[in-house]
Amino acid sequence: MLETVVQAVINGLLIGGIYALVSIGVTLIFGVVKIVNFAQGEFVMIGMYISFYLATQFGMDPIVSLVITMPVLFAAGVLIQHFLIRRVLGPNDMPQIFLTFALSLLLLNLALMLFTANYRTVHTFYSDEAFHIGELNIPVAKLIAFVVAMFLSGALWVFLHTTDLGKAMRAASQNRDVAMLMGINPNRVFCVALGIALALAGAAGSLLMPFYSAYPFVGQVFVLMAFVAVVLGTLGNVIGALVASLMMGVAESLGIQFVGADSGLIVVFAMLLLTLAFKPTGLGGGRAR
């Protein structure tokens, strides 16, 4: 019994690392640019397809293909901010919500047209390997994904706290108007925020590829998790999003283990509704940092 629980917690933590990459992106964009990117999941999907084609066409390992997916998606983020999102930043919610929502619909349906709804998988030499510690199983592919995800999150934290650009981004997220008065160029900061967020989503896609199938709707699973984690971890709070994502992974995994294989999503929704009912400002208590 105890081993089953520990195993479920381990599985949850490992997948939670991937959720964290997606949620950190969502919360970073929300904190700095003050919009919600509904298309974040679709960039995970794009990252997966890039890794899939690099693996099948050029035999590149999906984890190695991070060095391609991350820069490509960083560039995509900068372009999307510069040509699309910049034009709808105003006091009105409607254009912001429905622009990124339209982008999500567009990318999803383009993927459906180009790649069809088939599931694509990449089989690597470590896809089926696992470490055994007593009764416990730790799949190698998921462990690599978790470690790289934590490394990337840590790198982002260091970037936000030590570099000038990172500090400028935190300043813009705390008080945009004052940050601008201090001479911070908002569009440059926003472009970098979008770029980093999308690069993290692309990284999540590459890391998933050795043990998860790519299909056009795959992003929806991750973006839903990310939205819940971002509310739970207090909007705009990077560390909150990280912790909440790991919690969501564990909660989902325990739900699958003890309630039934198809109840993972029900647990997620239940967590969202409970958060809204009792702690709408999130666990961090309403402060963005």
Contact status: 160 vs another protein (CB under 8 A): no
Q: 267 Cβ partners below 8 Å, 6+ apart?
A: 251, 252, 254, 255, 259
Q: Please identify, using beta-carbon distances, which residue of 197 and 231 lies nearer to another protein.
A: 231
Q: Please identify, using beta-carbon distances, which residue of 43 and 146 lies nearer to another protein.
A: 43
Helices 186-208 and 140-162 meet at what angle, rounded to 10? 170
Q: Please identify, using beta-carbon distances, which residue of 92 and 162 lies nearer to another protein.
A: 92
Distance, in Å, from the CA atom of 239 to the CA atom of 174, rounded to the nearest integer, reads: 15
Min dist CB 1 to another protein, Å, is: 26
Contact status: 224 vs another protein (CB under 8 A): yes
Which part of the chain contacts another protein (CB under 8 A), choosing from 17-25, 40-48, 107-115, 240-248?
A: 107-115
Contact status: 85 vs another protein (CB under 8 A): no
* Residue count, binding to another protein (CB under 8 A): 43
Min dist CB 159 to another protein, Å, is: 26
Q: Please identify, using beta-carbon distances, which residue of 54 and 256 lies nearer to another protein.
A: 256
Instruction: List the x/- string, 227-256, binding to another protein by CB under 8 A.
Output: xx--x---x---------------------
Q: Please identify, using beta-carbon distances, which residue of 8 and 232 lies nearer to another protein.
A: 232
Contacting residue, 57, 92, 118, 162, with another protein by CB under 8 A: 92
Min dist CB 107 to another protein, Å, is: 9
Contacting residue, 36, 204, 218, 288, with another protein by CB under 8 A: 36
Contact status: 108 vs another protein (CB under 8 A): yes
Contact status: 96 vs another protein (CB under 8 A): yes
Output the DSSP codes for the chain. Answer: -HHHHHHHHHHHHHHHHHHHHHHHHHHHHHHHH----TTHHHHHHHHHHHHHHHHHHH---TTTTHHHHHHHHHHHHHHHHHHTGGGG-SS-HHHHHHHHHHHHHHHHHHHHHHH-S--B----TTTT-EEEETTEEEEHHHHHHHHHHHHHHHHHHHHHHHSHHHHHHHHHHH-HHHHHHTT--HHHHHHHHHHHHHHHHHHHHHHHTTTS-B-TTHHHHHHHHHHHHHHHT-TT-HHHHHHHHHHHHHHHHHHHHHT-GGGHHHHHHHHHHHHHHH-TTTTTTS---
Min dist CB 123 to another protein, Å, is: 27
The residues that touch another protein, with contacts defined as CB under 8 A, are 35-36, 38, 84, 87-88, 92-99, 101-103, 105-106, 108-113, 116-117, 216, 224, 227-228, 231, 235, 262, 265-266, 269-270, 272-273, 276-277, 280
